[in-house]
Chains A and B, each alone.
Chain A
């Protein structure tokens, strides 16, 4: 089965004729060609590497059909830097070595961006709790927590 959809990603509109079973993450990666959003688990939606924002809320794009996003606004990691200027989260992730392989990083950035809007001055425990939907296998989380805290301070 196919359906026509209009999905806006990072402000750009995509009008496409797609299979209804196409996952949103596959739409983003294969149809729109935005490969910064990653797939780390397959069925379960546990790892969070595919985290994007839909209407400014962080969600796992492997737990949504693309047709569900019809008429909605999607934001991915590619849209985080504005006018060539990195977002403070991107800057602080670099500054504090909050990534190693970088596979989970886009998902964490998209989650953290929403989180800091809701909680601009989080404690370490609150940051750690907010990250439970995003697995990282390289860093041990220490520097991720530091970077998010530091970005919060920079954005204050």
Chain B
């Protein structure tokens, strides 16, 4: 066996997850399971109105209720802590970042904004007390329409700014205004001369990826140790720094821990939110542990709302289907914009950057405006910002193809990026891949040709079958070159690997899994690198006291950045072990002359020279005598992996639907994806990421929508009306692979997961449009509700008559 094959068995294997035993036997440890002696319960009083002046808050009746320990409102709180924004959670992007505290001060800006809080010994009593808090409001005009909000004379959501424009910029043409104008003129000329121009308004609704476990915080205060806080979070290290700043507690006295188990996140637990600030402050103020567990209603009223964008998108094409230019005027409804790290506008910003997707379109003119409104702030959801962009782009590509009488996949294929590295017109770098291979794989496996025959037959019988394709080039983690600007934090992956005297390996990192199975994939990588069993690897994460700085479990970075750091740290330790082995065996050997296989370390030139991994570990850690000159004791290394090139993963999705024209309902008869995730660490885990992401995308596309009425009342704050897809609503998702290993990671892996829902709205809406082509129906808005589709069919029938 050669070195390159040594221990390779652990990569690419469907290793059963280490996490599952505890999670299937009821022994998980989620935020709601954490109990501290004397723990108090905090409940928020939230605004009943979208936009109103707070005239008075009377908390006296609540304070008098037996069992209530404290009641607090915004004004008082503002005297006790600093306010947002704090620099650590502000992007290095010019935009308006509003001032806000955990509880509203002076006025409320969305239905559901916290105005006061109760701390009580019992949560039922806390709820009784919350009802007794009397708030007098004076109504203000509701700012609910993003386009109207941008008008210069519109009512302002934040008086501190001159208007409701939170963010405005051109994503193309360079940094200088003059260059941008020159670019726009050039693009305009291409449009004037093109064979075909397609122009549509695409509207993606407000929806997101609410996880099954809402948020929660347990905070404890000790005068000597400071603050200990368990927070449902994707980035404990940023939370620690932000809490330190805003509560004016020295950083060494702040310890943030992500619970070992978190019930999903999908982006919703990535921001620095207002609620944890208050829970931590109250724990300090009262000197007692305080817990807040978010209700589903609070969750759906205040977070996991994303995707609210309008695209006025134009494509200029040649008659053979080659895209010549792309122009888009994007508006996003950012809500009140009050949220650390993302501030409502980062999602549409990244969506605009990623708009060209996998297509080679050098001539682009893309501009974005984000409006403040009296709605909950946009907060991240998987396929961050790009879900609406993918919808608009893929719908437009389909339309270009059909206007030219071409098969949509032919037009998609013709325009794909083929040479790497590639930089988009928006300045985003793609490292490598083979996009055409991914699309061809899908077209072949779904049997497009066969389907077209079937469709023709079905149409003769009055049945409406359709096929649609959606593509997406998604960021596979973000390098520091992107994240420092976008989120004011590094993008490297960091991991500490320690070999103990028994030859067991401990890995610690500062991220935190919410279901991604990091304990398993980390163990597989270590087993692969060290030639030991995954059972001998223990992974822990999420505690800021004992992990290296980690930028968080965000944006599909485990497979690309974190596991690369783990591999890098293992290699560093292996080299040291090899050097000491060479010294002990008195052989003149380079580190690569030793194989690490099946728990043994074997000198390749003479395989009689060998020792076990555990023996050598013991020797180095416990008997640090006679070490080679200059060698330190111990076997521990922290590695930081920064990619040479921002990595991406490419996917293509196809949906086959049948529409019932009498009701507008459609059935997804088949859903298939084709993926390039480079070299796979654990196929079961990555396929699980894909099936899960696809169903989230389907659920967003068909069912989920946050609805505000004309006065800003949020009508969808329970799962009874914010509908999530059930098992009976969705098809069996078929996952196929067309991999190209990544040359920029030590294992060839690419991170995947974050962007999975992105291609779904394109695939589904193209399929419905394709099915209803004989009736002239074209989908330009989401969600794809039966009543909406039925209405489009009626309108087209009436128009035809």
Contacts and interface: CB of A to CB of B under 8 A. Distances in A.
Direct contact between the two chains A and B in their complex (CB within 8 A): yes
Interface of A: 19, 21-22, 29, 34-44, 46-47, 49, 76-78, 80-81, 86, 90, 93-97, 99-106, 109, 124-125, 127-129, 131-132, 134-145
Please indicate which of the listed interface residues B213, B261, B297 has the most CB atoms of chain A within 10 Å of its own CB.
Answer: B213
B586 to A, nearest CB: 47
Interface in B731-781: 732-733
16 contacts: A35-B32, A40-B213, A41-B296, A43-B297, A44-B719, A77-B24, A97-B688, A100-B692, A102-B22, A125-B728, A131-B727, A135-B212, A135-B719, A140-B692, A141-B727, A143-B691
A125 to B, nearest CB: 8
Interface of B: 14, 16-17, 19-28, 30, 32-33, 124, 209-214, 261-264, 266, 293, 295-297, 514-517, 684-685, 687-688, 690-696, 718-720, 724, 726-728, 730, 732-733
A57 B330 CA distance: 52
A101 B264 contact: yes
Please indicate which of the listed interface residues A46, A93, A145 has the most CB atoms of chain B within 10 Å of its own CB.
Answer: A46
B21 A94 contact: yes
Nearest to B683: A97
A90 B263 contact: no
Contact of B261 (A94, A101, A128, A140): A101
A135 B24 contact: no
Contacts of A77: 24-26
Contacts of B28: 35-36, 102-103
A81 B693 CA distance: 31
Contacts of B27: 36
Contacts of A106: 24, 26
Nearest to A19: B124
Please indicate which of the listed interface residues A22, A36, A37, A137 has the most CB atoms of chain B within 10 Å of its own CB.
Answer: A137
Given A97-B17, A99-B24, A138 B730 contact: no
A137 B209 contact: yes
Contact of B263 (A37, A40, A41, A109): A40
Nearest to B29: A35
A102 B724 contact: no
B24 to A, nearest CB: 4
Please indicate which of the listed interface residues A43, A93, A100, A124 has the most CB atoms of chain B within 10 Å of its own CB.
Answer: A100
A42 B212 contact: no
B129 to A, nearest CB: 15
Interface of A is mostly: loop
Closest 9 CB pairs of A and B: A36-B26, A103-B263, A102-B23, A101-B515, A140-B695, A100-B515, A140-B691, A131-B727, A42-B295
A95 B209 CA distance: 27
Contacts of B692: 100, 137-140
Contacts of A43: 295-297, 718
B26 A97 contact: no
Contact of B30 (A44, A90, A103, A145): A103
A46 B723 CA distance: 10
Nearest to A35: B33
Contacts of B266: 137
Contact of A78 (B25, B32, B296, B696): B25
A142 B691 contact: yes
Contacts of B19: 102
A41 B515 CA distance: 19
B720 A145 contact: no
Nearest to B726: A132
A140 B25 contact: no
A131 B695 CA distance: 15
Contacts, number: 185
A128 B726 CA distance: 8
A131 B728 CA distance: 7
Contacts of B25: 36, 77-78, 80-81, 86, 90
A38 B32 contact: yes
Contacts of A47: 212, 296, 719
B718 A141 contact: no
Given A38-B213, A38-B263, A80-B25, A129 B719 contact: no
Please indicate which of the listed interface residues B261, B514, B719 has the most CB atoms of chain A within 10 Å of its own CB.
Answer: B719
Please indicate which of the listed interface residues A49, A134, A138 has the most CB atoms of chain B within 10 Å of its own CB.
Answer: A138
Contacts of B296: 40-44, 47
Given A78-B26, A139-B688, A143-B688, A46 B719 contact: yes
B685 A44 contact: no
A46 B720 contact: yes
A137 B24 contact: no
A44 B732 CA distance: 28
Given A39-B32, A102-B19, A141-B730, A86 B24 contact: yes
B695 A102 contact: no
A94 B20 contact: yes
Nearest to A94: B20
B542 to A, nearest CB: 14
A100 to B, nearest CB: 4
Contacts of A144: 727
A121 B733 CA distance: 22
A66 to B, nearest CB: 12
A3 to B, nearest CB: 15
Contacts of A100: 264, 515-517, 688, 692
Nearest to A100: B515
B213 A41 contact: no
Nearest to B697: A140
Contacts of A38: 30, 32, 212-213, 263
B686 to A, nearest CB: 10
A2 B210 CA distance: 36
B726 to A, nearest CB: 4
Contacts of B124: 19, 21-22
Contacts of A127: 727
Please indicate which of the listed interface residues B22, B28, B262, B724 has the most CB atoms of chain A within 10 Å of its own CB.
Answer: B28
Please indicate which of the listed interface residues B26, B210, B262 has the most CB atoms of chain A within 10 Å of its own CB.
Answer: B26
Contacts of B21: 94
Contacts of A36: 25-28
Please indicate which of the listed interface residues B23, B685, B733 has the most CB atoms of chain A within 10 Å of its own CB.
Answer: B23
A5 B308 CA distance: 50
B212 A136 contact: yes
Contacts of B295: 42-43
A40 B733 contact: no
Contacts of B211: 101, 103, 137
Nearest to B698: A140
Contacts of A49: 212
Given A36-B27, A41-B719, A143-B691, A101 B730 contact: no
Given A38-B32, A43-B296, A104-B212, A99 B718 contact: no
Given A41-B719, A103-B30, A135 B688 contact: no
B657 to A, nearest CB: 17
A76 B719 contact: no
Please indicate which of the listed interface residues B296, B695, B724, B727 has the most CB atoms of chain A within 10 Å of its own CB.
Answer: B727
A39 B294 CA distance: 10
A29 B424 CA distance: 52
A109 B26 CA distance: 10
Contacts of B23: 99, 102, 105
A40 B694 contact: no
Contact of B685 (A96, A97, A132): A97
Contacts of A137: 209-212, 264, 266, 692, 696, 724
A105 B24 contact: yes
Contacts of B718: 41-44, 46
Given A97-B17, A135-B212, 6 more contacts: A36-B28, A38-B30, A100-B517, A104-B263, A134-B726, A142-B733
